[in-house]
Chain A
């Protein structure tokens, strides 16, 4: 069941990007949690799935563990949070790997806000 204000988690090591995404999502009525590293996100949602956000926006290349590793650890927990990958590294190999890892979408920076919001809506609806 999705809450009235769905909760979106954003993981990105770029503080400017993180702040801008938070604003965009808040302006659209979402509750937003932001994390600068994959470790911080995994720690915050280390409990059962009720702790999980309704959707996760995930960068791939970050200091510490990568977005791919975050995906792998969520899979190992059998966590079903829909993952939308947003990255500046747009190689076909990265896209293939992210999608094979269970991502519901792969978006390239700079991503248009309307496309992002539509993707999130679809991801939450399918979840």
Chain B
């Protein structure tokens, strides 16, 4: 992953750095003229600031990706986490005209994990689903599911009826800086994957192009306390 990451990182940082260098060298030339074009130089400086911030954002997101601080691991109610995330984005979904249907098992066992991190993952998957739906013009609701998959695993998933993920994209969609969004950074799914894997789980996607996509994760059920 580091090799893929460094190649992507080089590209993501190269763009703002290239713009900053060309802008700065152009400004040097404009300002050396007998009658410097200060309006042009001012506009160049605005772009330099914006591009520098863009480079900074790449670094910040990388820091989040490789965050080393300890997460808060405790027993978590996955159903509650799903409900809290849906509540959090309820207004946003309403504004976008997108509905949500939740299918959550009543008797879900508890998992062990960091509830804030798991919320981040669910939020990311749900917002991705919204964006996929928005572009498609389809008005089917998003489906949020949480169920006991087997004796050791809880499965949580978010399904949309957007354009789906192509076979080509499926192979790389969880890699850092891979994005299908015009303004996306391509870090949401990569960060989500690293969070889920740190929980001993697995992030996955199922999709048929043209018929939507389901992104989900499996989480291990918390071990039962040892008998006294």
Contact = CB atoms under 8 A, between A and B. Distances in A.
Interface of A: 14, 16-17, 19-21, 23-24, 26-28, 88-90, 109-114, 116
B105 interface: no
Interface string B164-178: 000000000000000
Given A20-B22, A23-B26, A110 B17 contact: yes
Given A16-B15, A110-B17, 13 more contacts: A16-B19, A17-B18, A17-B22, A19-B47, A20-B22, A20-B47, A23-B26, A23-B30, A90-B10, A111-B22, A112-B21, A113-B25, A113-B26
Of the candidates B10, B14, B22, B47, the one having the most CB atoms from chain A within 10 angstroms of its own CB is: B22
What secondary structure prevails in chain B residues at the interface with A?
helix
Contacts of B96: none
Given A23-B22, A23-B44, A111-B21, A17 B29 contact: no
B16 A109 contact: no
A89 B27 CA distance: 27
B50 interface: yes
B82 interface: no
B51 interface: yes
A88 B14 CA distance: 6
B21 A110 contact: yes
B26 A16 contact: no
A109 B18 contact: yes
Nearest to B37: A27
A21 B14 contact: no
B77 interface: no
B23 interface: yes
29 contacts: A14-B15, A14-B19, A16-B47, A16-B51, A19-B23, A20-B19, A20-B20, A20-B22, A20-B26, A23-B22, A23-B27, A23-B40, A24-B23, A24-B26, A24-B29, A27-B30, A28-B29, A88-B10, A88-B11, A88-B14, A88-B15, A90-B10, A109-B17, A110-B14, A110-B17, A111-B18, A111-B21, A112-B21, A113-B26
A6 B161 CA distance: 52
Nearest to A61: B11
Interface in B47-77: 47, 50-51, 54
Nearest to B12: A88
Contacts of B26: 20, 23-24, 26-27, 113
Contacts of A28: 29
B22 A113 contact: yes
Of the candidates A24, A90, A112, the one having the most CB atoms from chain B within 10 angstroms of its own CB is: A24
Contacts of A27: 25-26, 29-30
B23 A23 contact: yes
A112 B44 CA distance: 17
